[in-house]
Structures are given as structure tokens and as C-alpha cells.
Chains A and B, each alone.
Chain A
Amino acid sequence: MGDPSRSHGLSLPVRRRQVLAAGLAGLVVVSLPRSALARPSLEEAIKTFTGGAEVLDGRVRLELPPLVENGNAVGVTIAAESPMTAADHVIRIGLFNEKNPEANVVIFHLGSRSGRAKVSTRIRLATSQVVVAVAEMSDGSFWSSRASAIVTLAACIEDLS
């Protein structure tokens, strides 16, 4: 019931059915590109966030526990090196995953009044995978950090009745 790993496989048939229905209705769905049926890749999601700008390694630290007891609530902390002044600060921090049904996790909007570029939250990881944090600085540069987690599943499954 609460197992996020179930969700991944479930998303595709629904979308295929929608595509089929659309095709039967005589709409122009002759050859949808393969990517329209799947989620955007991690890299594609980051590219959407950055608008295609170059992403450099460093200045961001993503903390993620390496071994996760339950993927429904994984604590993450993202911190970026920035003076957080009016002239030089972090504008946005985006968090993206590799294998959930959707690539986006959360996008934080910060500013000089944040004082520090440090945010903590709890996220869902459907399975063991890579997570990437990307920070956009006020000078237009993008910096990133990646981490991976192994997600174990509970041995005793939930009541479905």
C-alpha cells in the first residue's frame, strides 16, 4: 500500500492506454517518440531546470543516508557555498532523482534574506538510485552534487484488504 516501489511499474500501462485511446479517436498520435511514454531522464530534468546552461561540480553538498530503511521518508540536506549577500546568493536549488516515476523532487527558491543556503527535507525514493542537487547562483552559474542511496524494503508487507 505505502510501497513506493510499486508505483514505477504502474505508471506505464495507464499512459499506453491513454495513447491507444487517443489513437482510436483518430488523433495524430501515429508515432509518438519513445521519450513521450517514459519519464524524462535525470539529465533531461536537470537540463529543463538549467535551461541548458553548463552545470559545474562543487559548491553544493547533498547529504543523503547511504542505506535507507524505508524509501517513503528519506532525510536529505542540501547546502551550497555562498555568501548569501544581495549581490551574490543562491536563487534556486533543485533536487532530482534517477528512478522514481517523476524526475523532479522539489525546487527551493531562496534569496539573500535566507542568510544561509541550507535546506533540509524528506523525500521518497522508489528504489536504490542516484539523487542530484543543482543550485542556481545569482550570477547565473549552476553547481551540482550527487549522492546515491540503497533502499531496503520492509519484510512484512501491508494489508491490502
Chain B
Amino acid sequence: MRALWGLAGVAVAFVCSMVAATGLENGEKRSGFDFMTPETQALQTDDMSNPGMLWVLQGEQLWQQPEGRAEIACAGCHGDAGQTMGGVAARYPAFDEAIGRPIDLAGRINSCRAARQRAEPLAPESDELLALTTYVAHQSRGMPVAPATDARIAPFRDNGRRLFQSRIGQLDLSCASCHDANWGRRLGGSVIPQAHPNGYPLYRLEWQAVGSLQRRLRNCMIGVRAEPFAFGAPEFVDLELYLMERARGLPIETPGVRP
């Protein structure tokens, strides 16, 4: 089976070599939602069917729960997330003074835990971290992706673009080879989407759970037979910065559902 997909990858690489890699034109920007079957779309749009809402529910409970040696809850500082967190996921990653580089939403939650709650960081892809991230991002659902215009993050975003366009792995493919040059075509039974981050964290039927954008990016890297960056690697934040710029204007869908 793996050999088969390897062959499919080589076929795609061949197609890609013929099509010049170009960015997305404005009019053709489409969320991954548009490429799904009506059944999977219905799973996302109906909150009572969307399994991702289980993580939103958990996040809502964690938001209220005092944590760490400071025994303070997220709500202790930020109050009602419905009032204070709207639009945050639409503009993240943002520049973090303390570390001198951009930080993503999950990173911000963990740095808040360390600095304010004086609690241990939550593990990457743990239900708790995913739940809080999903809950916060959910407060921006329906808002257009609007990356921060902070000059300090520009070099990191540029690095993200470079990573997006760099060929990697044994299949020698870049993100752009598939998601810029061949979106809308098929790889095996699946449509190749444009790779927008506007639904994350999201519920993938393949995962049978909610997962982060970094988990998805690692899957892609493994798919092209490259060594994936570790969870929390700065390269992932840079990539996310570029992906958010590329997705500017698309609505936040968190929690999205994807096959």
C-alpha cells in the first residue's frame, strides 16, 4: 500500500515538474471545506453533529478552572472568552516580546500557564491543550483571517514562505508543488486542497480526534518522506505565519471537520 502511494507521489512530482509553481490568485482562494463531500460538510456545520464541539466544551470548562501555584483560571485574567478572545485566532501567530519571535496560539496558552498560572506546560497534542486552543479559536469562528501587520514578524513570515516553497523529502516535493500548483486535482481518492489553516484545531475523521495544524504539517512532511520538525519547532510557527497570510480573508471555521 505504501509503495502504491509512493508511486502516486512520484506521479504528482512529475505533474508538478510540468506546471510552474504559482501562488494562489485572490479569486480562487477556497477553504478545504469546499472540497469535501456534502456529508462531511454537514458534520462541520451542525454544532450538534460536529465532534470537534466536544473539545470546545472541554475547553470551556478548562477556561474556568484555576490552575498552577497561582491558582488562577484563564477566566481570572481574561474574563468571558466570548468577549475577550474574539478575533485572536484570526490574527495569530503574534510577536512575543519575551522570546523575541512569533508565537502561535498553543504556545501562547502554554506561556500564559508558565508566567501567570505558574503551572506546568501542557503537552503538545494533549486533549487539554487542544481543548483550550480549540475553545479560544472557536471564539473567532466566522471572522476573516486577518494576520497582524507587525513589522517584527515579517522576516519570520518570509522564512515560512521559503519553507512552503522548498522541496523536501525523498519525494522531493514542496508544499507549493501540491497546494499551489495542483490544488483541485486528485491524489488517490482525495482532492488536493489549498492547504489553508482556517479550521484548526480541527477534527479529522482520519485521526478520530481533534488535532493541531502542526500535527497536520507533520503528516504532510512524513507523506513526502521528509524528517518532520518536532512539535513546537519555530519552523512550524513561521510556516503558520505564511499560511495565515496566504489564507487572508477566509473565515475561521474552528472546529473544522476534514476527512
A–B in direct contact per CB < 8 Å: yes
State how many residues of chain A have any CB contact under 8 Å with chain B: 20
CA distance A74 to B43 in the complex (A): 10
Scoring B residues 201 to 219 as 1 if CB is less than 8 Å from chain A, else 0, what string do you get? Answer: 0001111100000010011
CA distance A56 to B190 in the complex (A): 38
Do B219 and A159 touch (CB < 8 A)? yes
CA distance A157 to B220 in the complex (A): 8
Q: Which residues of B contact A102 (CB under 8 A)?
A: none
Q: Which residues of A contact B259 (CB under 8 A)?
A: 69-70, 154
The chain B residues found within 8 Å of chain A, CB to CB, are: 2, 5, 8, 36-37, 39-40, 42-43, 51, 187-190, 204-208, 215, 218-220, 222-223, 228, 259
Apart from A1-B207, A2-B205, A65-B37, what 19 extra A-B contacts exist at CB < 8 Å?
A2-B204, A2-B208, A3-B206, A65-B39, A69-B189, A72-B206, A152-B188, A152-B189, A153-B189, A154-B189, A154-B206, A155-B8, A155-B187, A155-B223, A156-B219, A156-B223, A157-B2, A157-B223, A161-B222
**Nearest A-chain residue to B42, judged by Cβ:** A75
**Nearest B-chain residue to A3, judged by Cβ:** B206
The answer to the question of A107 belonging to the interface, with a C-beta cut-off of 8 Å to chain B, is: no
The answer to the question of A12 belonging to the interface, with a C-beta cut-off of 8 Å to chain B, is: no
The chain A residues found within 8 Å of chain B, CB to CB, are: 1-3, 65, 67-70, 72-73, 75, 152-159, 161
Candidates B37, B220, B223; contact of A69 at CB < 8 Å:
B37
CA distance A157 to B187 in the complex (A): 12
The minimal Cβ–Cβ distance linking A74 to chain B, given in whole angstroms, is 8
Do A155 and B206 touch (CB < 8 A)? no
Do B37 and A155 touch (CB < 8 A)? no
Q: Which residues of B contact A73 (CB under 8 A)?
A: 43, 51, 205, 208
The minimal Cβ–Cβ distance linking A119 to chain B, given in whole angstroms, is 14
The minimal Cβ–Cβ distance linking B182 to chain A, given in whole angstroms, is 12
Q: Which residues of B contact A68 (CB under 8 A)?
A: 39
Do B2 and A154 touch (CB < 8 A)? no
The minimal Cβ–Cβ distance linking B219 to chain A, given in whole angstroms, is 6
CA distance A72 to B205 in the complex (A): 6
Do B8 and A158 touch (CB < 8 A)? no
Do A158 and B219 touch (CB < 8 A)? yes
The minimal Cβ–Cβ distance linking A107 to chain B, given in whole angstroms, is 22
The minimal Cβ–Cβ distance linking A2 to chain B, given in whole angstroms, is 5
CA distance A1 to B215 in the complex (A): 13
The minimal Cβ–Cβ distance linking B173 to chain A, given in whole angstroms, is 11
CA distance A110 to B32 in the complex (A): 39
Do A156 and B8 touch (CB < 8 A)? no
The minimal Cβ–Cβ distance linking A75 to chain B, given in whole angstroms, is 6
Do A156 and B220 touch (CB < 8 A)? yes
